[in-house]
């Protein structure tokens, strides 16, 4: 199995970021890498790198492990490391695109994982194995990449899939939830009647960064009386502390960045 690696240098620590959904865009200019090498990174989507330290950071990688908190257990956000060889393969299929969609942004591109049927199936299987016996009746997928993972999981566990969309995308009556970004606000919508009172619900997205999008999804579902069992993502960026914003809601991730 080939492991991809990427190296880059930073002139200064970014001091300000723009958060748009799960997008993290540095407002400071970064030194673009002079050459791009394959990277060992996984999971997700609109992932834009941030830099925890000052000076030069020479690596950007993902640890292959799962945070395996059991839904409804006393350890809502458990940190038990459970190794699975499938995760390493998933990580190896995802590439990093420098300077996309703007200079200084390191974009984690999961489309290359989708080109690998084994890696894509493994990612779905890992979620299905976790939730197949949890009596979940609703899988709520967050736009847009939650739409990739949510439907096959829902079909496999016998649940319905409910899309959580941006404004003016859903026809008919909707319920809306406004949530805050670092600069401004955004809105998430769901069809009226799609989720009923008491239904056990899984919220899925590809990435958790600051946690704002998942919090909005939780609030929207709880407003209609749903029981949000857990949130699930392919990748977590723990430096951005999105997990902390979920309160007592458990979070399950396939890989966590370092």
Number of C-beta neighbours around residue 167 at 10 A: 12
Question: Within 13 Å and on the Cβ side, how many CA atoms surround 19?
Answer: 19
Phi, psi of 87 (to 5 degrees): -65, -40
Q: Residue 213 is inside which H or E element, if any?
A: helix 212-223
Q: What is the DSSP letter of 46?
A: B
SS3 185: strand
Q: Parallel, antiparallel, or unpaired: how do β-strands 47-48 and 66-67 relate?
A: unpaired
Catalytic residue among 145, 165, 200, 243: 145
Indicate the length of the chain as a whole number.
258
Q: Residue 114 is inside which H or E element, if any?
A: helix 111-114
Catalytic residue among 70, 143, 182, 222: 182
Euclidean distance between CA atoms 46 and 233, whole angstroms: 12
Number of C-beta neighbours around residue 210 at 10 A: 21
Burial bucket for residue 175 (CB in 10 Å: 0-12, 13-18, 19+)? middle
User: Has 182 been annotated as catalytic?
Assistant: yes
User: Has 145 been annotated as catalytic?
Assistant: yes
Q: Parallel, antiparallel, or unpaired: how do β-strands 227-236 and 200-208 relate?
A: parallel
Residue 1 to residues 4, 92, 111, 242: CA-CA distances in angstroms?
A: 10, 8, 18, 31
Please give the structure tokens belonging to residue 232.
Answer: 């699930």
Q: Which residues are catalytic?
A: 145, 182
């Amino acid at each position: 199995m080939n492991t991809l690696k990427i190296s880059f240098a930073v002139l200064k620590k970014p001091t300000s970021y723009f958060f748009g959904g799960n997008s993290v865009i540095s407002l400071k200019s970064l030194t673009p890498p002079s050459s791009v090498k394959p990277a060992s990174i996984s999971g997700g989507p609109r992932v834009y790198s941030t830099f925890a330290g000052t000076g030069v950071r020479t690596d950007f990688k993902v640890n292959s492990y799962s945070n395996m908190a059991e839904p409804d257990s006393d350890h809502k956000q458990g940190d038990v490391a459970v190794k699975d060889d499938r995760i390493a393969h998933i990580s190896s299929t995802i590439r990093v695109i420098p300077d996309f969609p703007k200079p200084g942004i390191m974009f984690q591109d999961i489309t290359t994982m989708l080109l690998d049927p084994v890696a894509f199936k493994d990612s779905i299987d890992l979620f299905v194995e976790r939730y197949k016996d949890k009596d979940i009746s609703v899988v709520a997928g967050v736009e847009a990449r939650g739409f990739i993972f949510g439907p096959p999981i829902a079909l496999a566990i016998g649940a319905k899939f409910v899309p959580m969309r941006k404004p003016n995308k859903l026809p008919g009556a909707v319920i809306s939830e406004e949530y805050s970004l670092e600069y401004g606000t955004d809105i998430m919508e769901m069809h009226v009647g799609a989720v009923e009172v008491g239904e056990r619900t899984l919220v899925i997205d590809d990435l958790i960064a600051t946690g704002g999008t998942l919090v909005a999804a939780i609030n929207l579902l709880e407003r209609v009386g749903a029981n949000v069992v857990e949130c699930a993502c392919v990748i977590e960026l723990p430096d951005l502390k999105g997990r902390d914003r979920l309160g007592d809601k458990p979070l399950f991730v396939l890989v966590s960045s370092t």
